[in-house]
Amino acid sequence: MIAATSNRPVSPVENVSSDRQPVRRDLAASMGDGASYGVMVGIGETYVPAFVLAAGLGDVFAGLIASVPVFLGSVLQLISPAAIRILKSNKLWVMLNASIQAACFIPLIVAATYGAISQWQALFITSVYWATSLATGPAWNTWMGAVVPKSVRPHFFAKRARFSQAMTLAGFLAGGFILQAGTSSAAPTRAYVLLFLIAGISRVISAFCLSRKSEPQPVRLVDDLPFMQRAMSFGQGRAGRLLLFVVCMQVGVCISGPFFVPYMLNGLKLTYIEYVILIGTSFVAKFLTLPYWGRLAKKVGAQQLLWIGAICITPLAAAWDVSFNYGWLVLVQILAGTAWAAYELAVTLLFLEAIPEHERTGTLTIYNVANNAALLAGSLIGTFMLRSMDVTIEAYLWVFAVSTAARGASLLILATVPKMSSGVVEPTFRPLSVQPSMGSIDQPVLAGLPADAENQLAENELPT
Protein backbone atom coordinates (compact mmCIF):
# COMPACT_ATOMS: atom_id res chain seq x y z
CA MET A 1 0.00 0.00 0.00
CA ILE A 2 1.35 3.39 -1.01
CA ALA A 3 0.95 6.18 1.49
CA ALA A 4 -0.95 9.17 0.29
CA THR A 5 1.08 12.30 -0.31
CA SER A 6 0.01 15.89 -0.35
CA ASN A 7 1.02 18.45 -2.90
CA ARG A 8 -0.39 21.30 -0.82
CA PRO A 9 2.06 24.21 -0.85
CA VAL A 10 3.52 25.29 2.50
CA SER A 11 2.22 28.70 3.48
CA PRO A 12 4.60 31.56 4.35
CA VAL A 13 3.17 31.56 7.88
CA GLU A 14 4.16 27.91 8.34
CA ASN A 15 7.65 28.67 7.02
CA VAL A 16 8.09 31.54 9.47
CA SER A 17 6.84 29.38 12.34
CA SER A 18 9.27 26.63 11.37
CA ASP A 19 12.17 29.10 11.17
CA ARG A 20 11.38 30.47 14.60
CA GLN A 21 11.48 27.12 16.40
CA PRO A 22 15.32 26.92 16.66
CA VAL A 23 15.44 30.54 17.83
CA ARG A 24 12.82 29.89 20.49
CA ARG A 25 14.73 26.81 21.65
CA ASP A 26 17.95 28.84 21.86
CA LEU A 27 16.29 31.61 23.85
CA ALA A 28 14.63 29.16 26.25
CA ALA A 29 17.93 27.33 26.77
CA SER A 30 19.69 30.64 27.41
CA MET A 31 17.13 31.54 30.07
CA GLY A 32 17.68 28.15 31.72
CA ASP A 33 21.44 28.67 31.60
CA GLY A 34 21.12 32.12 33.19
CA ALA A 35 18.85 30.89 35.97
CA SER A 36 20.96 27.88 36.94
CA TYR A 37 24.18 29.90 36.66
CA GLY A 38 22.68 32.48 39.02
CA VAL A 39 21.86 29.81 41.60
CA MET A 40 25.44 28.53 41.41
CA VAL A 41 26.86 31.99 42.04
CA GLY A 42 24.48 32.74 44.89
CA ILE A 43 24.65 29.50 46.84
CA GLY A 44 28.15 28.33 45.92
CA GLU A 45 30.88 30.75 44.92
CA THR A 46 29.65 33.52 47.22
CA TYR A 47 30.13 31.34 50.31
CA VAL A 48 33.70 30.20 49.63
CA PRO A 49 35.31 32.90 51.86
CA ALA A 50 32.89 32.00 54.67
CA PHE A 51 33.73 28.32 54.15
CA VAL A 52 37.49 28.81 54.53
CA LEU A 53 36.76 30.72 57.73
CA ALA A 54 34.69 27.82 59.03
CA ALA A 55 37.51 25.46 58.03
CA GLY A 56 39.89 27.41 60.25
CA LEU A 57 42.13 28.98 57.61
CA GLY A 58 41.97 32.42 59.24
CA ASP A 59 40.73 35.94 58.57
CA VAL A 60 43.58 37.03 56.32
CA PHE A 61 43.33 33.99 54.08
CA ALA A 62 39.56 34.44 53.83
CA GLY A 63 40.29 37.85 52.34
CA LEU A 64 42.98 36.60 49.99
CA ILE A 65 40.74 33.80 48.68
CA ALA A 66 38.47 36.56 47.35
CA SER A 67 41.28 38.26 45.41
CA VAL A 68 44.23 36.03 44.47
CA PRO A 69 42.20 33.40 42.53
CA VAL A 70 40.27 36.11 40.68
CA PHE A 71 43.52 37.69 39.49
CA LEU A 72 45.05 34.35 38.50
CA GLY A 73 41.84 33.48 36.69
CA SER A 74 41.87 36.73 34.74
CA VAL A 75 45.42 36.01 33.57
CA LEU A 76 44.60 32.44 32.58
CA GLN A 77 41.65 33.66 30.50
CA LEU A 78 44.16 35.14 28.03
CA ILE A 79 44.48 31.70 26.41
CA SER A 80 40.83 31.84 25.34
CA PRO A 81 41.30 33.22 21.78
CA ALA A 82 43.92 30.57 20.94
CA ALA A 83 41.82 27.79 22.46
CA ILE A 84 38.73 28.85 20.53
CA ARG A 85 40.69 28.98 17.29
CA ILE A 86 41.92 25.42 17.90
CA LEU A 87 38.45 24.14 18.77
CA LYS A 88 36.86 26.21 15.97
CA SER A 89 33.87 26.68 18.24
CA ASN A 90 32.80 29.20 20.87
CA LYS A 91 30.16 26.73 22.05
CA LEU A 92 32.63 23.93 22.77
CA TRP A 93 34.92 26.30 24.66
CA VAL A 94 32.09 27.65 26.81
CA MET A 95 30.75 24.15 27.54
CA LEU A 96 34.24 22.84 28.39
CA ASN A 97 34.80 25.63 30.89
CA ALA A 98 31.31 25.26 32.36
CA SER A 99 31.95 21.54 32.92
CA ILE A 100 35.31 22.16 34.59
CA GLN A 101 33.72 24.85 36.75
CA ALA A 102 31.04 22.41 37.88
CA ALA A 103 33.75 19.85 38.72
CA CYS A 104 35.49 22.39 40.98
CA PHE A 105 32.72 21.88 43.53
CA ILE A 106 33.59 18.18 43.96
CA PRO A 107 36.77 18.74 46.04
CA LEU A 108 34.95 21.49 47.96
CA ILE A 109 32.21 18.99 48.85
CA VAL A 110 34.85 16.51 50.03
CA ALA A 111 36.61 19.21 52.07
CA ALA A 112 33.34 20.31 53.65
CA THR A 113 32.50 16.70 54.52
CA TYR A 114 35.77 16.16 56.37
CA GLY A 115 36.09 19.74 57.63
CA ALA A 116 39.63 20.18 56.37
CA ILE A 117 41.33 21.85 53.41
CA SER A 118 44.79 23.37 53.04
CA GLN A 119 45.42 26.90 51.86
CA TRP A 120 47.14 25.71 48.68
CA GLN A 121 44.29 23.35 47.87
CA ALA A 122 41.74 26.13 48.35
CA LEU A 123 43.77 28.53 46.19
CA PHE A 124 44.17 25.98 43.40
CA ILE A 125 40.48 25.01 43.30
CA THR A 126 39.22 28.59 43.35
CA SER A 127 41.80 29.73 40.78
CA VAL A 128 40.60 27.06 38.35
CA TYR A 129 37.02 28.07 39.15
CA TRP A 130 37.65 31.73 38.34
CA ALA A 131 39.76 30.93 35.27
CA THR A 132 36.92 28.92 33.77
CA SER A 133 34.39 31.58 34.79
CA LEU A 134 36.24 34.49 33.19
CA ALA A 135 37.42 32.49 30.16
CA THR A 136 33.85 31.95 29.02
CA GLY A 137 33.01 35.66 28.93
CA PRO A 138 34.40 36.73 25.52
CA ALA A 139 33.35 33.48 23.80
CA TRP A 140 29.88 33.59 25.37
CA ASN A 141 29.32 37.18 24.23
CA THR A 142 30.45 36.36 20.69
CA TRP A 143 28.34 33.20 20.56
CA MET A 144 25.21 34.88 21.93
CA GLY A 145 25.67 37.76 19.53
CA ALA A 146 25.42 35.26 16.68
CA VAL A 147 22.50 33.27 18.14
CA VAL A 148 20.10 35.93 19.41
CA PRO A 149 18.39 37.96 16.65
CA LYS A 150 19.29 41.66 16.68
CA SER A 151 15.65 42.70 16.91
CA VAL A 152 15.16 41.07 20.32
CA ARG A 153 18.64 41.38 21.88
CA PRO A 154 18.12 44.38 24.22
CA HIS A 155 14.77 43.13 25.53
CA PHE A 156 15.85 39.49 25.80
CA PHE A 157 19.16 40.11 27.57
CA ALA A 158 17.53 42.59 29.97
CA LYS A 159 14.91 39.97 30.85
CA ARG A 160 17.57 37.26 31.17
CA ALA A 161 19.74 39.47 33.40
CA ARG A 162 16.85 40.23 35.77
CA PHE A 163 15.99 36.53 35.99
CA SER A 164 19.60 35.55 36.63
CA GLN A 165 19.99 38.23 39.31
CA ALA A 166 16.79 37.07 41.02
CA MET A 167 18.05 33.48 41.06
CA THR A 168 21.42 34.64 42.39
CA LEU A 169 19.68 36.37 45.28
CA ALA A 170 17.43 33.35 45.87
CA GLY A 171 20.45 31.04 45.97
CA PHE A 172 22.30 33.35 48.32
CA LEU A 173 19.35 33.62 50.73
CA ALA A 174 18.78 29.86 50.64
CA GLY A 175 22.44 29.28 51.43
CA GLY A 176 22.25 31.52 54.47
CA PHE A 177 19.21 29.74 55.86
CA ILE A 178 20.82 26.33 55.26
CA LEU A 179 23.96 27.40 57.11
CA GLN A 180 21.98 28.91 59.98
CA ALA A 181 19.93 25.75 60.40
CA GLY A 182 22.62 23.16 59.74
CA THR A 183 25.81 24.51 61.30
CA SER A 184 26.99 23.21 64.66
CA SER A 185 30.11 23.80 66.70
CA ALA A 186 30.95 20.12 66.38
CA ALA A 187 30.83 20.18 62.57
CA PRO A 188 31.17 23.82 61.41
CA THR A 189 31.65 22.94 57.73
CA ARG A 190 29.13 20.11 57.32
CA ALA A 191 26.28 22.36 56.10
CA TYR A 192 28.50 23.61 53.28
CA VAL A 193 28.26 20.15 51.70
CA LEU A 194 24.68 20.87 50.69
CA LEU A 195 25.54 24.35 49.42
CA PHE A 196 28.35 23.14 47.18
CA LEU A 197 26.31 20.15 46.01
CA ILE A 198 23.46 22.40 44.88
CA ALA A 199 25.95 24.78 43.25
CA GLY A 200 27.64 21.97 41.32
CA ILE A 201 24.33 20.52 40.14
CA SER A 202 23.20 23.99 39.09
CA ARG A 203 26.29 24.42 36.91
CA VAL A 204 25.71 20.98 35.38
CA ILE A 205 22.18 22.08 34.49
CA SER A 206 23.66 25.28 33.08
CA ALA A 207 26.07 23.27 30.92
CA PHE A 208 23.19 21.09 29.69
CA CYS A 209 21.24 24.21 28.69
CA LEU A 210 24.32 25.49 26.87
CA SER A 211 24.50 22.21 24.94
CA ARG A 212 20.92 22.73 23.75
CA LYS A 213 21.78 25.99 22.01
CA SER A 214 22.81 26.09 18.38
CA GLU A 215 25.98 27.61 16.98
CA PRO A 216 25.63 29.31 13.59
CA GLN A 217 28.22 28.61 10.92
CA PRO A 218 30.71 29.99 10.01
CA VAL A 219 31.85 30.51 13.59
CA ARG A 220 32.55 34.04 14.75
CA LEU A 221 35.80 34.15 16.67
CA VAL A 222 36.90 36.25 19.60
CA ASP A 223 39.33 38.91 18.42
CA ASP A 224 42.82 37.60 19.24
CA LEU A 225 44.90 40.73 18.72
CA PRO A 226 48.09 40.37 20.84
CA PHE A 227 47.38 41.35 24.43
CA MET A 228 50.17 43.90 24.80
CA GLN A 229 49.37 45.49 21.44
CA ARG A 230 45.74 45.95 22.41
CA ALA A 231 46.68 47.12 25.91
CA MET A 232 49.03 49.78 24.53
CA SER A 233 46.41 50.95 22.06
CA PHE A 234 43.75 51.10 24.76
CA GLY A 235 46.01 52.85 27.24
CA GLN A 236 46.94 55.56 24.74
CA GLY A 237 43.35 56.17 23.67
CA ARG A 238 40.87 58.54 25.23
CA ALA A 239 39.83 55.82 27.67
CA GLY A 240 43.38 55.45 29.01
CA ARG A 241 43.02 58.08 31.75
CA LEU A 242 39.63 56.65 32.68
CA LEU A 243 41.21 53.20 33.03
CA LEU A 244 43.94 54.68 35.26
CA PHE A 245 41.29 56.20 37.52
CA VAL A 246 39.26 52.98 37.68
CA VAL A 247 42.36 50.94 38.56
CA CYS A 248 43.41 53.36 41.31
CA MET A 249 39.88 53.42 42.71
CA GLN A 250 39.84 49.61 42.63
CA VAL A 251 43.07 49.47 44.64
CA GLY A 252 41.51 51.72 47.27
CA VAL A 253 38.29 49.72 47.35
CA CYS A 254 40.08 46.39 47.68
CA ILE A 255 42.24 47.44 50.59
CA SER A 256 39.12 46.71 52.59
CA GLY A 257 36.69 44.92 50.25
CA PRO A 258 37.93 41.31 50.56
CA PHE A 259 38.03 41.54 54.37
CA PHE A 260 34.42 42.43 55.11
CA VAL A 261 33.43 38.75 55.27
CA PRO A 262 35.92 37.81 58.04
CA TYR A 263 35.16 41.10 59.81
CA MET A 264 31.44 40.35 59.89
CA LEU A 265 31.67 36.65 60.77
CA ASN A 266 34.75 36.56 63.03
CA GLY A 267 35.09 40.19 64.14
CA LEU A 268 31.47 41.17 64.77
CA LYS A 269 30.37 37.55 65.37
CA LEU A 270 27.29 37.94 63.19
CA THR A 271 25.05 34.94 62.67
CA TYR A 272 24.69 33.62 59.15
CA ILE A 273 21.21 35.16 58.92
CA GLU A 274 22.52 38.58 59.97
CA TYR A 275 25.37 38.20 57.49
CA VAL A 276 23.00 37.28 54.66
CA ILE A 277 20.67 40.18 55.41
CA LEU A 278 23.55 42.67 55.28
CA ILE A 279 24.89 41.47 51.94
CA GLY A 280 21.46 40.83 50.47
CA THR A 281 20.39 44.37 51.34
CA SER A 282 23.21 45.81 49.25
CA PHE A 283 22.45 43.44 46.37
CA VAL A 284 18.76 44.40 46.31
CA ALA A 285 19.53 48.12 46.59
CA LYS A 286 21.86 47.86 43.61
CA PHE A 287 19.29 45.93 41.59
CA LEU A 288 16.44 48.35 42.35
CA THR A 289 18.32 51.62 41.81
CA LEU A 290 20.09 50.72 38.56
CA PRO A 291 17.14 51.76 36.33
CA TYR A 292 16.97 55.15 38.10
CA TRP A 293 20.66 55.78 37.48
CA GLY A 294 20.18 54.78 33.85
CA ARG A 295 17.51 57.45 33.42
CA LEU A 296 19.69 60.02 35.17
CA ALA A 297 22.63 59.18 32.90
CA LYS A 298 20.49 60.01 29.87
CA LYS A 299 19.73 63.42 31.38
CA VAL A 300 23.08 64.53 32.80
CA GLY A 301 25.54 62.25 31.00
CA ALA A 302 27.62 59.28 32.13
CA GLN A 303 30.58 61.41 33.21
CA GLN A 304 28.46 63.37 35.67
CA LEU A 305 27.02 60.09 36.91
CA LEU A 306 30.56 58.79 37.41
CA TRP A 307 31.34 61.73 39.68
CA ILE A 308 28.19 61.05 41.69
CA GLY A 309 29.02 57.36 42.06
CA ALA A 310 32.72 57.90 42.82
CA ILE A 311 32.05 60.50 45.50
CA CYS A 312 29.37 58.32 47.09
CA ILE A 313 31.49 55.14 47.28
CA THR A 314 34.47 57.00 48.78
CA PRO A 315 33.28 57.17 52.44
CA LEU A 316 31.57 53.77 52.50
CA ALA A 317 34.47 51.82 54.03
CA ALA A 318 35.03 54.38 56.81
CA ALA A 319 31.29 54.27 57.53
CA TRP A 320 31.92 50.86 59.11
CA ASP A 321 34.12 52.66 61.67
CA VAL A 322 31.24 54.82 62.90
CA SER A 323 29.27 52.20 64.80
CA PHE A 324 28.90 48.47 65.41
CA ASN A 325 25.12 48.91 65.53
CA TYR A 326 23.44 46.45 63.17
CA GLY A 327 20.81 48.95 62.02
CA TRP A 328 23.56 51.39 61.06
CA LEU A 329 25.34 48.69 59.05
CA VAL A 330 22.12 47.87 57.18
CA LEU A 331 21.80 51.56 56.26
CA VAL A 332 25.42 51.61 55.08
CA GLN A 333 24.76 48.58 52.90
CA ILE A 334 21.71 50.22 51.32
CA LEU A 335 23.82 53.25 50.48
CA ALA A 336 26.60 50.99 49.19
CA GLY A 337 24.37 49.14 46.76
CA THR A 338 22.88 52.41 45.52
CA ALA A 339 26.25 54.10 45.05
CA TRP A 340 27.88 51.13 43.35
CA ALA A 341 25.02 50.86 40.88
CA ALA A 342 25.71 54.45 39.77
CA TYR A 343 29.48 54.00 39.64
CA GLU A 344 29.55 50.73 37.70
CA LEU A 345 26.91 51.86 35.20
CA ALA A 346 28.80 55.09 34.50
CA VAL A 347 32.14 53.32 34.03
CA THR A 348 30.58 50.79 31.68
CA LEU A 349 28.81 53.46 29.61
CA LEU A 350 31.98 55.52 29.21
CA PHE A 351 34.14 52.55 28.26
CA LEU A 352 31.59 51.29 25.73
CA GLU A 353 31.37 54.73 24.15
CA ALA A 354 35.15 55.05 23.92
CA ILE A 355 35.71 51.60 22.42
CA PRO A 356 34.55 50.64 18.90
CA GLU A 357 32.03 47.79 18.87
CA HIS A 358 34.36 45.34 17.14
CA GLU A 359 37.06 45.90 19.81
CA ARG A 360 34.83 45.64 22.89
CA THR A 361 35.24 41.93 23.57
CA GLY A 362 39.04 42.02 23.44
CA THR A 363 39.25 45.25 25.39
CA LEU A 364 36.96 43.88 28.10
CA THR A 365 39.62 41.23 28.71
CA ILE A 366 42.25 43.94 29.24
CA TYR A 367 39.93 45.75 31.61
CA ASN A 368 39.36 42.53 33.58
CA VAL A 369 43.09 41.86 33.94
CA ALA A 370 43.86 45.45 35.01
CA ASN A 371 40.93 45.59 37.40
CA ASN A 372 41.78 42.26 39.00
CA ALA A 373 45.46 43.21 39.31
CA ALA A 374 44.24 46.22 41.28
CA LEU A 375 42.05 43.88 43.33
CA LEU A 376 45.13 41.83 44.20
CA ALA A 377 47.24 44.91 44.99
CA GLY A 378 44.61 46.36 47.29
CA SER A 379 44.08 43.07 49.11
CA LEU A 380 47.83 42.70 49.70
CA ILE A 381 47.90 46.16 51.30
CA GLY A 382 45.00 45.15 53.52
CA THR A 383 46.74 41.87 54.35
CA PHE A 384 49.92 43.68 55.40
CA MET A 385 47.96 46.06 57.63
CA LEU A 386 45.95 43.32 59.32
CA ARG A 387 48.97 41.12 59.97
CA SER A 388 51.06 44.00 61.28
CA MET A 389 48.30 44.79 63.82
CA ASP A 390 47.56 41.16 64.78
CA VAL A 391 44.14 41.03 63.06
CA THR A 392 42.30 42.86 65.83
CA ILE A 393 39.05 44.82 65.56
CA GLU A 394 41.14 47.99 65.66
CA ALA A 395 43.19 46.68 62.73
CA TYR A 396 40.03 46.25 60.67
CA LEU A 397 38.92 49.79 61.50
CA TRP A 398 42.28 51.14 60.31
CA VAL A 399 41.97 49.13 57.10
CA PHE A 400 38.55 50.67 56.46
CA ALA A 401 39.87 54.18 57.13
CA VAL A 402 42.86 53.77 54.81
CA SER A 403 40.57 52.34 52.13
CA THR A 404 38.42 55.48 52.23
CA ALA A 405 41.52 57.71 52.09
CA ALA A 406 42.82 55.85 49.03
CA ARG A 407 39.45 56.13 47.33
CA GLY A 408 39.44 59.87 47.99
CA ALA A 409 42.93 60.22 46.51
CA SER A 410 41.79 58.55 43.29
CA LEU A 411 39.27 61.36 42.77
CA LEU A 412 42.24 63.58 41.92
CA ILE A 413 42.84 61.36 38.88
CA LEU A 414 39.16 61.47 37.94
CA ALA A 415 39.47 65.26 37.72
CA THR A 416 42.03 64.80 34.92
CA VAL A 417 39.85 62.50 32.79
CA PRO A 418 39.03 64.33 29.54
CA LYS A 419 35.46 65.16 28.66
CA MET A 420 33.75 62.06 27.29
CA SER A 421 30.24 61.76 25.93
CA SER A 422 28.07 58.67 26.11
CA GLY A 423 25.42 57.82 23.58
CA VAL A 424 25.40 54.11 24.38
CA VAL A 425 22.08 52.61 25.42
CA GLU A 426 21.94 51.28 28.96
CA PRO A 427 23.70 47.89 29.07
CA THR A 428 22.51 44.81 30.89
CA PHE A 429 24.74 42.93 33.31
CA ARG A 430 25.20 39.34 34.36
CA PRO A 431 26.29 38.66 37.96
CA LEU A 432 29.69 37.04 38.48
CA SER A 433 29.77 37.23 42.26
CA VAL A 434 27.94 38.60 45.29
CA GLN A 435 30.16 40.91 47.34
CA PRO A 436 29.60 42.33 50.84
CA SER A 437 30.90 45.83 50.09
CA MET A 438 29.34 46.46 46.67
CA GLY A 439 26.38 44.12 46.30
CA SER A 440 27.78 42.15 43.39
CA ILE A 441 30.46 41.94 40.72
CA ASP A 442 28.77 42.21 37.34
CA GLN A 443 29.92 41.95 33.74
CA PRO A 444 28.23 43.80 30.86
CA VAL A 445 26.48 41.61 28.31
CA LEU A 446 28.08 42.91 25.12
CA ALA A 447 25.84 40.74 22.96
CA GLY A 448 22.87 42.72 24.22
CA LEU A 449 24.17 46.01 22.83
CA PRO A 450 23.20 47.23 19.36
CA ALA A 451 26.07 47.04 16.88
CA ASP A 452 27.44 50.31 15.57
CA ALA A 453 28.30 48.81 12.23
CA GLU A 454 27.29 45.83 10.16
CA ASN A 455 29.49 42.80 9.54
CA GLN A 456 32.40 44.09 11.63
CA LEU A 457 33.30 40.56 12.65
CA ALA A 458 33.39 39.23 9.12
CA GLU A 459 37.17 39.09 9.13
CA ASN A 460 37.06 36.76 12.15
CA GLU A 461 34.85 34.12 10.54
CA LEU A 462 36.19 30.63 10.11
CA PRO A 463 35.55 28.73 6.89
CA THR A 464 33.30 25.73 7.36
- Report the mean per-residue pLDDT for the chain: 84
The pLDDT value recorded for residue 234 is 53
pLDDT at 122 over 90: yes
Per-residue confidence (pLDDT) for residue 17, from 0 to 100: 46
For residue 175, pLDDT beyond 90:
yes
The predicted pLDDT at position 460 comes to 38
pLDDT band at 118 (very low <50, low <70, confident <90, very high): very high
pLDDT of residue 441: 65
Question: Domain spans of the chain?
Answer: 27-452
* pLDDT value, residue 146: 82
For residue range 140-167, what is the model confidence (pLDDT) as tens digits? 888 888 888 887 877 888 888 889 989 9
User: Which of 94-108, 294-308, 450-464 has the weakest average pLDDT?
Assistant: 450-464
Judge whether residue 362 has pLDDT over 60: yes
Query: Region 318-323: what's the mean pLDDT?
Result: 96
How large is the average pLDDT for residues 80-86? 83
pLDDT of residue 417: 85
pLDDT at site 304: 92
In this predicted structure, the answer to whether residue 260 has a pLDDT above a threshold of 80 is yes
What pLDDT score was predicted for residue 80? 81
Percent of the chain exceeding pLDDT 70 equals 80
Higher per-residue confidence, 295 vs 231: 295
Q: According to the 3-state scheme, what is the secondary structure of the chain?
A: CCCCCCCCCCCHHHHHHHHHHHHHHHHHHHHHHHHHHHHHHHHCHHHHHHHHHHCCCCHHHHHHCCCHHHHHHHHHHHHHHHHHHHHCCHHHHHHHHHHHHHHCHHHHHHHHHHCCCCHHHHHHHHHHHHHHHHHHHHHHHHHHHHHCCHHHHHHHHHHHHHHHHHHHHHHHHHHHHHHHHHCCCCCCCCCHHHHHHHHHHHHHHHHHHHHCCCCCCCCECCCCCCHHHHHHHHHHCCCHHHHHHHHHHHHHHHHHHHHHHHHHHHHCCCCHHHHHHHHHHHHHHHHHHHHHHHHHHHHHCHHHHHHHHHHHHCCHHHHCCCCCCHHHHHHHHHHHHHHHHHHHHHHHHHHHHHCCHHHHHHHHHHHHHHHHHHHHHHHHHHHHHHHHCCCCHHHHHHHHHHHHHHHHHHHHHHCCCCCCCCCCCCCCEEEEECCCCCCCEEEECHHHCCCCCCCCCHHHECCC
7 confidence band (pLDDT: 50, 70, 90): very low
What is the predicted pLDDT for the residue at 14? Answer: 43
Q: How confident is the model at residue 431 (pLDDT cuts 50, 70, 90)?
A: low
pLDDT digits (tens, 9 = 90+) for 365-379: 778 888 899 999 999
Q: Which of 91-95, 182-186, 237-241, 360-364 reaches the highest mean pLDDT?
A: 91-95
**Per CATH, which fold does 27-452 belong to?**
Growth Hormone; Chain: A; (1.20.1250)
**What average pLDDT does this structure show over 267-276?**
94
pLDDT tens digit string along 89-105? Answer: 889 999 999 999 999 99
This prediction has a pTM of 0.85
pLDDT for residue 447:
58
| Weakest-pLDDT range from 94-103, 148-157, 229-238, 392-401 | 229-238
Higher pLDDT, 85 or 462: 85
Question: pLDDT class for 139, splitting at 50, 70, 90?
Answer: confident
pLDDT tens by residue, 346-355: 988 887 777 6
